[in-house]
Amino acid sequence: MLPLDSDRVNAEWYLWEGERPAIHSYAKRPGYVAVRYKGELFQIMQDKVHFRWFGVAESKVQQNLFIVLEPQLYQASNGRWGAHPDQSRNRLIFTGGGEKGVELPLSDWGLEFAESMPDQIVAAIREARGEVAGSIADEDYRKRLQDKFGDRWTMKVLVKPKDRNATNTQPATETDEDVETFVESVRNGEVEERRRRRRNKTIKIIRKRAVPGGSGEGVEAEAPVDVPKYRMATKDDFDKAWHLAMWDPNSPDGPTVLINQDSPILLEMVRYHQQQYPDIYAEEVQKTVFETFGEIAACKVAHSQKLSRNVPREVLDRDYRSEAALTVALMGLLAEEAVIAQRLGRLGRKKPVGA
């Protein structure tokens, strides 16, 4: 059992090893994520996207993993925080943290689960990746891209200042909590003289809190956008077997872009370029094409972090970084072809047309 959200949610997990018995006539055979409420399971989810919330993108592990969340029940006596049924009593909703009657924060609980993922699940994930995981070992591209685009790939983040001039800062926990600051009205750059009989006008300023539950206010500062990792995966890990890429922000190895090495779109690109060079270079051409798509996909995800100023992180990951969105973004021939052609130039002259 793994406690989440300040011990207010218990996450039970079960990882089956080997072939499962044929029990699907009275119980679900594949793995799922569910919520337990008073001994009954609600919201049994088997979609790949829900497993990715919990840091599990590998299909083989998803088939054998069961995660059951049991959040604290909503009661007036426990701080008015917890899960409770909606009016239809067919689904659970959540109240707490300033929210009332909203969807369960499953993605938040999933992120916390992924950050403290049990060793057995991590081991199963690494085993499922097998040879595919080792196909991309060089991560120098992350530093190279950051050095090249570092000045342009920046975003405003909330930081906690260490001094009044905010020249020395430390990262602050992302929060929507507000801090109320009261200041006296200013005239000509100076505070009005207190000797005036009438009370100075007080202005109320609301700023974002630097740390949840704290009293200090946060300030915005420019920070470099991180370039995520990427690795190759198989079609079984994707919602659609032909999709090109997938964003896995909760991977136990850190935020990662997965490239579908079985995607017909990618394989068509590989075959096209293999035909341009002697057969002896076939493996080198495939490696170059795979790496190019991986790096470009990582760039697109990194650049999309700028959208966080317009949409919540959950919406950004769900909609703008979805498999479908990344697939369409990577289908443009111009950028990919230009990079691939440049890198394959080291192999020498292309084969004559018709050869």
More confident residue, 272 or 20: 272
**Residue 7: is it exposed, middle or buried by C-beta count within 10 angstroms (0-12/13-18/19+)?**
exposed
Q: Which has the minimum average pLDDT: 123-127, 130-134, 237-241, 298-302?
A: 130-134
Q: Please tell me the predicted confidence (pLDDT) of residue 180.
A: 47
Residue with tokens 């966080």, as numbered in its chain? 308
Per-position DSSP letters for 34-57, written without gaps between them: EEEETTEEEEEE--HHHHHHTT--
Indicate the pTM of the whole model.
0.69
CA atoms within 13 A on the CB side of 87: 0
- How does strand 229-233 pair with strand 256-260? parallel
Residue 348 has pLDDT above 80, yes or no: no
pLDDT in tens, 183-217: 444 444 444 443 344 444 444 444 454 444 454 55
Rounded Cα distance, 298 and 58, in Å = 19
Q: Please tell me the predicted confidence (pLDDT) of residue 345.
A: 83
Query: Are 160 and 218 spatial neighbours (Cβ–Cβ below 8 Å)?
Result: yes
Confidence of residue 152 (pLDDT cuts 50, 70, 90): low
Q: How much is the average pLDDT of 215-244? A: 81
More confident residue, 335 or 257: 257
**In Å, how far are 39, 222, 290 from 148, measured between CA atoms?**
55, 17, 21
Q: Which has the minimum average pLDDT: 25-39, 155-169, 315-329?
A: 155-169
More confident residue, 167 or 122: 122
More confident residue, 337 or 25: 337
pLDDT in tens, 99-112: 889 999 999 999 99
Confidence of residue 120 (pLDDT cuts 50, 70, 90): very high
Rg (CA), the chain: 26
Q: Report the SS3 class of residue 274.
A: helix
Confidence of residue 71 (pLDDT cuts 50, 70, 90): very high
The two tokens of residue 186 are 């200013």
Q: Hey, what long-range contacts does 44-51 have (CB within 8 A, 24 or more apart)?
A: 47/239, 48/237, 48/238, 48/239, 49/239, 49/318, 50/106, 50/110
Instruction: Give me the chain's average pLDDT, please.
Output: 79
Q: How much is the average pLDDT of 50-57? A: 93
What percent of the chain is predicted at pLDDT more than 90? 44
What is the largest distance, in Å, between two alpha-carbon atoms of the chain?
Answer: 96
More confident residue, 78 or 65: 65
Q: Please tell me the predicted confidence (pLDDT) of residue 159.
A: 58
Angle at 314 between CA 310 and CA 316, to 5 degrees: 45
Query: Are 74 and 84 spatial neighbours (Cβ–Cβ below 8 Å)?
Result: yes
The two tokens of residue 261 are 């090495």
Query: Are 213 and 232 spatial neighbours (Cβ–Cβ below 8 Å)?
Result: no
pLDDT in tens, 154-182: 666 655 555 444 444 444 444 444 444 44
Residue 2 zone, left/alpha/beta (φ > 0; ψ -120 to 50; rest): beta
**In Å, how far are 62, 162, 190, 310 from 206, measured between CA atoms?**
44, 20, 21, 20
More confident residue, 355 or 144: 144
Rounded Cα distance, 218 and 76, in Å = 32
Q: Please tell me the predicted confidence (pLDDT) of residue 38.
A: 92
Domain boundaries, the chain: 2-129, 134-152+228-347, 156-224
Residue 79 has pLDDT above 70, yes or no: yes
